[in-house]
Every structure is written in structure tokens, then in C-alpha cells.
Amino acid sequence: MTDTSIDTSPFDLSGTTVLVTGARRGLGRAIAVEFARAGADVAIGLRETADDAGLASEIEALGRRALPVRMDVTDLDAARAAIDRTVEEFGPLHTLVNNAGGGIVAPAIDVTEEDFDRVWALNTKSTYFLSQHAARHMRNAGGGAIVNIASQAGLVALPGESSYCIAKAAVVHLTRCQAVEWGEYGIRVNALAPTFIETDGTQAALSDPAFRADTVERIAALHRIGAPREVSGAAVFLASSAASLITGQTLAIDGGWTAR
């Protein structure tokens, strides 16, 4: 999305619509709220629409519209229908944030085919085909932005997380491929690659003092765990006109982990 106006902030997303997958908690929730703060109306992708943990109310309290949509991203037909409903309710879809994801912890020698397929479907297959469906809407509307939540695991090897690393590495490269093909439609595709962020999803691992100390040491420059808003702000940037010449890129939000 390109805004040539000089009268508004390039980070102002007023009048736009975003759909965030996996929005109930953690990074997805932070991203949904951040887009509302920036002025966007937000469709919130949830496994069950009644279980939004107050997120719709939080977005509406910021003066924006919220639309809970049922969206298990591994059920592609249902997820595509959620994209269609967003467009029907809110009008053109300006931004898709592919946030839903997850992995397993297992040595590479023990990962089963079922494990691998499940991680691939959740992280990579869903990102590919939901981006495709959103891009068809965006092409018809004259453009848009797709922000994929990859991971530093897609840039470096993390022992015990091989299937997740491979899935996120594929997200990094599909970001490049789709950006190159869809630029002619005015669609930009970028990714974020966060390090460990303080969320309810990482709480169990980071509560282990030894694991936390090792993680802080590996975050080689800043030596601290990240906060959700350090990712959500970057997602808004990539969707905004401030990033209008940026596409096909993966921004590492890793405190220097991958620089070492």
C-alpha cells in the first residue's frame, strides 16, 4: 500500500483493514492491538470466534471495528472463507498478517513424518495458501501488504527444533518468491523473524533459569528477551506507507542473535 500524502504520518493506517491469524494471544494479540492503535479495523483470526479473551472489546475501545472470524489455518477452506468474510464485512483487505504457527521440540533423529507434516501445515502451507487467497482480493483492489511472522529459527539452526526451523526457513523464501511475483499488482510481501519474546507461549520455557540464561547469552548484542510490542510495531511499519519500497525482505528482530 502506497500513500503519497504529506499531510499524515506514514505510519497512519486509518481507513484500512487488517486480518491477523492466531490473534487470541501472544504476538498475534499484540499485533492486532497495534494495528488498531495505528487506525486500522481488525479482523481477528481465532480457532473459536466466541473465545477472543476480550480482544474485540479492546480493539473497539480504541475506536476501531473488530471482526472475530473462525480461522484454523490448517483448515484451508474455512480459512479462505474467513478472508472472504472479512472483505464482505469490512471492504478491501489491505493487510494480511500470517501469525499463526508453532512447532515441536524433538531431536531430528526422532521426528516422525506425522510431526513434520503437522508443523509444515501450520507454519508453511497455511502461509502460502492464505497469502495466495488474500493476494487475489488485493490484486482486484489495487494492492496491499502481507506480513509473514517467520522466526530466527528460519535463519539459524536451533537444536531440537529442526522441523520448525525448516518450516520457517521456507516461509522466509516463499516471502521472496511471492514478493517478486505479486509486485506488479501493488502487493508487498515481507516477513519478521523474532527471537524469543515474552509471551504466554514462551513462558514455560523461559521460566527455566538455565534456559533463560542461555537464551539471553545467545541474544548476542542486547542480551535480553524481547517484548511483544517490539514485534507488533515492526509489523505495522511493514504494512504502512513508510515501507512502500520494501518487499521480499525478512527483518530479524533478534537482539543480534543471528549477527554473531
Q: What are the tens digits of pLDDT across the range 118-157?
A: 999 999 999 999 999 999 999 999 999 999 999 999 999 9
CA angle (60, 66, 69) in 5-degree steps: 150
**CA-CA distance, 99 to 154, in Å (whole number)?**
14
**Dihedral of the CA atoms 159, 146, 13, 79 (nearest 10)?**
-90
Catalytic residue among 35, 164, 237, 257: 164
Q: Which pLDDT band, with edges at 50, 70 and 90, does 49 fall under?
A: confident
How would you classify residue 248: left for phi > 0, otherwise alpha for psi between -120 and 50, otherwise beta? left
Residue 10 located in a structural domain: no
Is 164 a known active-site residue?
Answer: yes
**CA-CA distance, 197 to 201, in Å (whole number)?**
9
- pLDDT at position 62 is 97
Q: How many domains does the chain have?
A: 1
- pLDDT at position 200 is 84
The domain in which residue 31 lies consists of 17-253
| CATH number of the domain encompassing residue 56 | 3.40.50.720
**CA-CA distance, 45 to 210, in Å (whole number)?**
35
Q: What are the tens digits of pLDDT across the range 208-231?
A: 999 999 999 989 899 999 999 999
- pLDDT at position 6 is 62
Residue 8 located in a structural domain: no
Closest CA to 69 of 34, 39, 28: 28
Q: What are the tens digits of pLDDT across the range 82-125?
A: 999 999 999 999 999 999 999 999 999 999 999 999 999 999 99
- pLDDT at position 2 is 52
Residue 25 located in a structural domain: yes
- pLDDT at position 5 is 55
